[in-house]
Amino acid sequence: MPEHPLSTLKKLDPAYMNEFEKMEDLVFSDGALPKKVKLLMALAFDAANGAANGVMALARQAMAAGATKQEIAETVRVAAMLGGEGTLYTASRALKGIVD
């Protein structure tokens, strides 16, 4: 399993990162919006911002939370409509091997 992308900051500032992880748990837990939907929203943001590693990780998490390949595809559609063509390239690179 690859090293967590925030592992350096966990070592540098463990108190802050502990609080950050609590917030992350709160944000992505089931509520009025199910966890799956929240993960798909985050995937859209990462795709629009060129964060391929984030798209990859969030796609895996979303699928584990019950998202389908079609839901991921539609999430990418929305992200591309709002974020531009580069979003498609980021998402395509990130999703290779996950949804194909």
Distance CA 57, CA 67 (A): 13
Per-position pLDDT tens, the chain of length 100: 567 888 999 999 999 999 999 999 999 999 999 999 999 999 999 999 999 999 999 999 999 999 999 999 999 999 999 999 999 999 999 999 888 8
Write down the pLDDT at residue 3.
79
Distance CA 50, CA 98 (A): 18
* Contact partners, residue 33, CB within 8 Å, separation at least 6: 41
Distance CA 49, CA 59 (A): 15
* Contact partners, residue 46, CB within 8 Å, separation at least 6: 52, 54, 55, 58, 90
**Does pTM surpass 0.75?**
yes
